[in-house]
Chains A and B, each alone.
Chain A
Amino acid sequence: MPDLSGSDERPLLDVAELRTTFHTPVGPLVAVDGVEWSLRRGARLGVVGESGSGKSVMSRSIMRLLPKSRVTSTGNVSFDGIDMMSLGRRELLEMWGPQLAMVFQDPLGSLNPVMKIGKQVGEGLRVHRDLSARAARSAALGLLEEVGIPEPHRRIDEYPHQLSGGMRQRIVIAIALACSPRLLIADEPTTALDVTVQAQILDLIEAQRAERNMSLVLITHDLGIVAGRTDEIIVMYAGRIVERAPTSTLFSDMRMPYTEALFRSIPKVTDDSHARLEIIGGQPPQMTDLPLGCKFAPRCKYAQDLCFAEEPALIEVPKAAPARSSISGSADDGEPDPAAGVHLYRCFYPVGTPEAAEAFERNIASGRVSEAGVVIRTDD
């Protein structure tokens, strides 16, 4: 964990009531619905969820990088006291780079194919720091070295297509780091890469984050990636936060059935070969036609009538409730941090409670859910 003892610090980024709606031909699509969280300086937030859950739209809304038309984005995004939502194009250009930077999933797509690497890396510096072409080039060289590009002197004059996927992602990171941003949003930075390169890239991001005391938002659909590399995790479903907890608490004491299902569906190297994977039955929700109650209800093995009728609110785990198998929780929680320490979830029958166990039994008895916990009948 990074040193968070930074005393009174107000959060670097504060997101409140963020709601982003796309106006599609089939009606409004609320891609992000009332999201709220904050991030302290130097802290690391993980965002997980299936594809389509709104992770990218949320980060783009914060960056103010949404398409220009047919979108409405409301709410408060305050970056170090600056109200991002009120900024004009010009002011945003000044923010992108030195204040917030983003790394996208597809490294080739976010690089200019016909511009030399050195120029792309140095461009931000020329704009924001007013560096000369020569100074920008030598700064770019330093950055390439920092992100672990072998033979930077040769690579600086190459084009993106001449590099491997892993090296391209390093370049994208170098560009994002060029102006020493205070917040880096990495949207699935390694989804397109293989495990060995993935590990290298994640190590690189972590090393640079620690060195620059940057804050990091790491977006992924792989719980394995955020497990060892974040302080707090947000789980998203259908544009909403469905669970939010410090990382170790989330893994030891997850409350939301969706988080549990996501976790169980990952094949783990520690399992035996041919071990049956637990799947989340059904499809991710149709975002233009969301169910009434809990958005996860049609796929949830605990769902009861109440879940279909009413949407649960995001509530805090009662302090009295002991973490079920917390191995480490207590070590960190000596002095619970009011901002990062909260554990919120959105469910009527939270995992691990007797109510949930009863609900599951009832569902098996009624034939809605199989013994393995997969929803087999959806016509409730």
Chain B
Amino acid sequence: MAGSGNAHLRPDALLSARDLVVEFPAAGGRTVYAISGVSLDLAEGETLGLVGESGCGKSTTGRAILQLPRPTSGTVQLAGQELTELDEDDIRKVRPRLQMIYQDPISSLNPRRRVRDIVAEPLFIALENVSRRTAMAVWQDRIGELLQNLLRRAAVPLRIVGRLASVAFVLWILSETVEERAAEGWLGWTQVPAAIIGFPTLALLLLAGAIALMLGLTWVLLAVMLPFGLMSRQFGEVSSAVGLAGVVVTTGASAFMLWRTWSSFGGWAKWLNSGGLILLTAVLAVWLLLSIAKPERAGASGVATTLSAMVVLQVFYVAGLDGGIKLAVLVASAVVDALLFRWVLRRYRANRDAEREQAEPRVREVLEYVGINPDDAMDRRPWEFSGGQAQRLSIARALVSVPQVIICDEPVSSLDVSVQAQILNLLEDLKNLMGLTLVFIAHDLAVVKNVSDRVAVMYLGKLCEVSEPDAMFDEPAHPYTELLLAAIPQPDPEAELGSGRIGGELPSPMDPPSGCRFRTRCPHAAQRCIDEEPEMREIAPGRFVACHTPLVGDSAPVRVEMASAPRGES
């Protein structure tokens, strides 16, 4: 389209998004214009299909409606309530009314939780105490993002550093014995590299290795934890208490180590050596602090990492002690760890059982709706299900909190044809049964046509055409829609392979074309399309198009032979 204008909007919509703009910062101070002024509305009980090429901004639109993240500008109203102005706590209260189903059913469900807990989760999100979200929580997000970006950009250097780090790490652990051996006059093999490149260099390398290793580890931990949403409040508190204890213990211990190594050995080499250890402690301490700041995200993995981090550090510190004390400390710390584990697990289970009991009837009900036998499924984990069953579970999860609107982002794209048909029929049944209102995102036009009451075609962050599906598919009005339709594979060997191909790739959303955004690939592009952005207008009852020369209506051009479409490649 690439058009603006709001002619297609209606006043009585249940959900209405106006002029949504989402921009992401990109490298070199540039901006990704992911969506640029998309306006949509949705009447109660209606299914709106959203189609377009990969990268055109379908998911971004869906997520902007959910405020994940908040749009750069624009407004979203759900039943008259403005969402873009709500703070985090209130958004969370709205969330049960606005659910999302994702493309990849299995990986969008937490693999470590049982079906009963996964499905029940939305019931508890709204109840959670969110005032614990502090500035630290925001920082955890930022650090996570930063590390992910870093890692994306630095894939190669990181691999090298990672390898060096693992070598260095081993050497580092061994270097303690190097000095002991050297003192005995025995030249250990680990001393050879130290002798060759000089101990200071080695020490620096070790430090760099330790930093890289910790960065990598932190990133992995964050990556593991971040996607898996939210845990119950009490559990979060327990895990943060443990985390806090961990920080106190490790900080205390590192202070002790520092003092001890300095006083008993002296000398810069040992200092550096314990410096690495301190660094390790510091990084872990930051990590632990962060997970305290965000208890609702700490979850099972939070506790696991907190405890295992403690255990790792304990081992290091114990290794630094001598003789009889070593053994005593080792035994004591093992006992403490075991008790902690037990205590945490008990607290967690008690809380979980209470929640389960409370949620059970509702969970059973929705599982039955989606055609899953609750007795079989409740206590299994997501990866024990096929893709189609897992998608049914996601649907059950989305239904459990009686949402007003469900945004389905490519819910059948990763499924087999036969399973896809089951899921599409299921959504249709549930819609008739419960009066669901759906936004259905997909790139398969046949699928979109099947489920939608209204279809919106997107191109490079803007809307091209909004229309009732049968009319749109019989007679596409926007040149882009026409080319999209021609690309559909037909299960009929006699059907002509669509001759009009959209050549080339989508232009970069960092540098969208002037005027009509589709003009670089449009077979009908004229000077006017370069100069002037087309506005959304009604060309026939219920048909809205943003094109200067739509293919339907009074101003329709003589149809250009499709083969004259610009062919970038192939």
Contacts and interface: CB of A to CB of B under 8 A. Distances in A.
Contacts of B534: none
Interface stretch (B181-189, B243-251, B312-320, B494-502): B494-502
A159 B155 contact: yes
A331 B374 CA distance: 55
Contacts of B444: 195, 267
Given A267-B450, A273-B452, A194 B470 contact: no
In this complex, the member of B386, B417, B485 whose beta carbon has the largest number of chain A beta carbons within 10 angstroms is: B417
B488 A224 contact: yes
Interface string B420-454: 11101100100000000000000111110111110
B492 interface: yes
Interface string B127-169: 0000000000000000000000000100110010000000000
B359 interface: no
A167 B447 CA distance: 25
Interface stretch (A179-187, A276-284, A349-357, A360-368): A276-284
Q: Is the interface of B mostly helix, strand, loop or mixed?
A: loop
Contact of B428 (A164, A228, A274): A274
A227 B493 contact: yes
B155 A247 contact: no
Interface in B363-390: 386-387
Nearest to B500: A199
B489 A279 contact: no
B357 interface: no
Given A50-B418, A193-B54, A273-B470, A227 B451 contact: no
Contact of B446 (A199, A223, A268, A278): A268
A138 interface: no
Given A248-B494, A265-B418, A274-B451, A114 B489 contact: no
16 contacts: A114-B155, A114-B156, A150-B568, A164-B505, A195-B487, A195-B489, A196-B483, A200-B569, A202-B489, A265-B417, A265-B421, A267-B424, A269-B485, A273-B452, A274-B451, A277-B425
Contacts of B424: 267, 277
A285 to B, nearest CB: 12
A222 interface: yes
In this complex, the member of A193, A195, A266, A272 whose beta carbon has the largest number of chain B beta carbons within 10 angstroms is: A195
A272 B451 CA distance: 10
Interface in A200-227: 200, 202-204, 207, 221-225, 227
Nearest to A113: B155
Interface string A61-72: 000000000000
Chain B interface size band reads: 35 or more
Contact of A279 (B422, B485, B570): B422
A224 B505 CA distance: 23
B491 A268 contact: yes
Which 4 residue pairs are nearest across A and B when measured between Cβ atoms?
A148-B569, A224-B489, A194-B443, A265-B421
Interface string B464-486: 00001110010000000001110
Contact of A247 (B54, B443, B493, B506): B493
B200 interface: no
Nearest to A261: B418
